[in-house]
Amino acid sequence: MKTAADRILNFSAGPATLPEPVLQQAQQDLWNINESGIGICEHSHRGPVFDNIINEAVDNCRQVGSIPDDFEILFLQGGATLQFSMLAMNFLGEGQTANYLDTGVWTTKAIKEAKKLGNVHLAFDGSMTNYDHCPSEEELTLAKGAAYLHFCSNNTIYGTRFTFVPKSDSPVICDMSSDMFSRSIDWDSYDMVYAGAQKNLGPSGTVLVVLRKTMLDKCSDNLPLMLNYNAIAKKGSMLNTPPTFGIYLMGEVFKWILEEGGLGGIEARNEHKAGMIYHALDSKSDFYTTFARECCRSRMNISFKTNTPELDAKFLEESAKLGMSGLKGHRNLGGLRASIYNAFPEEGCARFAEFIETFAANH
């Protein structure tokens, strides 16, 4: 079996690094899971082996997130992007208005989809400051009596994050794709959260949706079955053949989080990991610029640049020689970006911080 030493330090924004013990277990389970003589991708979703896997995944998900019993846990497909439309189909009724906070590329896409289905009130427009921060409570202009409020807790491209949950007189829905289970979640403040798996939880395509059970009463029977949260919840995420491998792998990641000390342990480590990198960048502030305002620096995605595009290119070239990959900034923003989700090793962050300082000293 290959060891960690064979692997590249993968700073990709998504699909991204997964925990090594999970990948090694998955290698075995693809061949033969739980001594059933059949691999995970070959088991019927109606049999006892998969029943056990999905039930355990739900239980471990609840335990990891301290998710209260009045929330439903669903495993869906179509990526986080399908949720942009699906949540509006279910919760934005005709003639209703929803509050949206625009804090970057992903929320802009969510807004575009919602506008096809109902009225959108832009309660914060981050484009005015080129998305360099998440708003404070004072910067929000929420419409009253809205169907819901939608925001994104961590902006993957710009490297900004919310440090509070906006208060609203309507249900609060959050896209947590890039920071799900990287820190604790105050469930009293939310009615639905969702996350595409490929940043922090598992393979792309699968989506984790956690929603308050009272929200299910709002889903219209006229919706296509596969786009109806209530219909899916009634069948325990198995309205049709579910993404069995994705659910299995997320379940393994949940177990790994529990072994790592749960969200408390993960959050402390994420603070430390991001801290090392920000510290290195700040110590060479005449050489590097971080994109996000200090108030809202993401612990998952660090977007920054050197003083020139030529040096950015050189940074990529030299870091690649040290086995570091995925550091090119998003095409909308340019520059550089280090994505360091839960499974990205602490030691890798230390090596990267050192490289940041050495590179600045050498150039």
Ligand X SMILES: *Cc1c(COP(=O)(O)O)cnc(C)c1O
Q: Which positions ≥6 away from 250 have C-beta within 8 Å? A: 57, 61, 75, 197, 201, 202, 206, 208
Nearer to ligand X, 105 or 232 (CB): 105
Does the footprint of ligand X cover residue 79 (CB under 6 A)? yes
Which residue's CB is nearer to ligand X, number 79 or number 118?
A: 79
Under the binding rule (CB under 6 A), the answer on residue 80 touching ligand X is yes
Comparing CA positions, the residue from 142, 138, 98 lying closest to residue 123 is 142
Residue 329 in the binding site for ligand X (CB under 6 A): no
- DSSP-H helix ranges across the chain: 20-31, 48-65, 79-91, 105-115, 229-234, 244-259, 262-283, 309-321, 346-362
Is 206 an interacting residue with respect to ligand X (CB under 6 A)?
no
Closest distance to ligand X from the beta carbon of 76 (Å):
11
175 touches 83 (CB < 8 A) = yes
| 36 in contact with ligand X (CB under 6 A) | no
Closer residue to ligand X, CB minimum distance, 16 or 92:
16
| Residue among 175, 191, 252, 312 that touches ligand X (CB under 6 A) | 175
- Told to judge if 106 belongs to the known catalytic residues of this protein, a careful annotator would answer yes
Question: Residue from 12, 14, 61, 352 that binds ligand X (CB under 6 A)?
Answer: 14
Task: Say which of 102, 175, 179, 312 is annotated catalytic.
Answer: 175
Q: Which of 18, 152, 165, 292 binds ligand X (CB under 6 A)?
A: 152
DSSP 273-302: HHHHHHHHHHHTTTTEEESS-GGGB-SSEE
Work out whether 177 is an interface residue with ligand X (CB under 6 A). yes
Q: Is residue 243 at the binding interface for ligand X, with CB under 6 A as the rule?
A: no
Q: Which of 199, 255, 273, 305 is catalytic?
A: 199
CB of 196 to ligand X, least distance (A): 3
Catalytic status, residue 31: no
156, 237, 290, 319: which one contacts ligand X (CB under 6 A)? 156
Which CB atom, from 160 or from 178, has the smaller least distance to ligand X? 178
88 contacts ligand X (rule: CB under 6 A) = no
- Asked if 178 touches ligand X (CB under 6 A), the answer is yes
Instruction: Let me know: does 43 contact 360? Beta carbons within 8 Å.
Output: no
CB of 242 to ligand X, least distance (A): 16
Q: How far apart are CA 290 and CA 164, in angstroms?
A: 22
Q: Which residue has the tokens 């820190």?
A: 183
Residue nearest ligand X, Cβ-based: 79
Please state, in angstroms and rounded to a whole number, the distance separating the CA atoms of residues 242 and 250: 13
Question: Is residue 177 packed enough to be buried (19+ CB in 10 Å), middle (13-18) or exposed (0-12)?
Answer: buried
Which of 77, 81, 119, 136 touches ligand X (CB under 6 A)? 81
| Nearer of residues 65 and 196 to ligand X, judged by Cβ | 196
The yes-or-no answer on residue 175 being catalytic is yes
Structure tokens at 296: 């809202």
Residue 351: Cβ within 10 Å count: 17
In contact, 206 and 157? CB cutoff 8 Å: no
Q: Which stretch binds ligand X (CB under 6 A): 46-54, 170-178, 291-299, 339-347?
A: 170-178
- Give whichever of 80 and 143 is closer to ligand X, judged by the CB atom: 80
CB of 359 to ligand X, least distance (A): 27
Min dist CB 153 to ligand X, Å, is 8
Q: Are 135 and 155 in contact (CB under 8 A)?
A: no
Cα(20)–Cα(4) distance, integer angstroms = 7
Q: Could you give the CA distance from residue 272 to residue 39 in angstroms, rounded to a whole number?
A: 38
- The residues binding ligand X (CB under 6 A) are 14, 79-81, 106, 152, 156, 175, 177-178, 196, 199, 204
Indicate which residues carry an active-site annotation: 106, 175, 199
